[in-house]
Amino acid sequence: MNKLLAIVFPGQASQRVGMLKTMAAHYSLVEETFSEVSEVLGYDIWKLVQYGPFTELNKTYRAQPAILTASVAVWRIWKQQGGCMPKLMAGHSLGEYSALVCAGGMDLCSGVRLVMIRGMLMQEVVPHGRGAMSVIIGLHDDVVFEFCKAAQQDQIVSLAGFNAPGHVVISGHKEAVDRVNLFCKNAGAKHIFSLPISVPAHCALMKPMAKKFRKELEKITIYTPSIPVLNSTDVCIEQEPRAIRRALIRQLYTPVRWREVMQYCIHRKIKKFLEMGPGKILTGLIRSTVNNEFSLSVNDPVSLSEAMKINWN
């Protein structure tokens, strides 16, 4: 274990057609991992990931297994190549499932089934096109919070993620989200953009699915992780399986506290972060939150080689 290192895993919105293509060309573990998952899902997920269409990959119940599988594949290669073990793991929303699988808290097949069902239940409670999520950059949390209250009008919209200073996510009914976006634009927000997500996660609209999802969670075996996993629901490390289940249920309808996750790591002297999985979203957020700490996204042979050469002392 390296006391300076945390490994983190991205959530939904990091998916893209062609992800891990160059990694697969060098390491057979990529396609082997995707093949393992395809048997569980009943379709060729590697084909979907490589050739799309993006409209299909973007569907929540397909995007979530794809991102989880990609993240696990990178972790498996890291271990195969002799990469050092981290002090802890963490994941952004869906990425928490990737962290639990990689830390031995659940097996890959169980994790994939779970996030596929999670995505289906999410879409079931809020039909496609009825909900939305967007990122607001450049305004204080309290300002966006007040805009959410003002924009509700018998609908739901709320803060769904605290990613970095001045970088929040809102979630809810599409019309209400659009109203908040307009308020934020008029207030001088630097950037506002919609997330490529077909459901409004981490808000009260997800509460009706909690009971059904709890039943699905009870069907799988959860183990005490061999590597501590820091959750973003309570910003704490749970080791007991029942506590892990409860946190995963609350995660459905409560905000992602990623900024606090990073602060937790810094307070515990973690100096280096590796993001494993598609994209570089978390690497950017880490650099916006903490100063003078090393962060790198690992998802191709070049970045893997760079990570392997790091002096971890």
Catalytic residues: 93, 202
Contacts of 251 (CB under 8 A, 6+ apart): 93, 96, 202, 231, 232, 233
Q: Is residue 273 within 8 Å of 286, Cβ to Cβ?
A: yes
* 202 conformational bin, left if phi > 0, alpha if psi -120 to 50, beta if neither: left
**Spatial distance between the Cα atoms of 222 and 131, rounded to a whole number of angstroms:** 31
CA separation for the pair 98, 25 (Å, rounded): 23
Note the helical H segments in 187-300: 210-218, 241-251, 258-267, 281-289
Segment holding 54, helix H or strand E? helix 54-57
Identity of the amino acid at 115: V
**Angle subtended by helix axes 60-80 and 29-41, to nearest 10:** 150
Task: Please name which of 257, 248, 247, 251 lies closest in space to residue 289, comparing C-alpha atoms.
Answer: 257
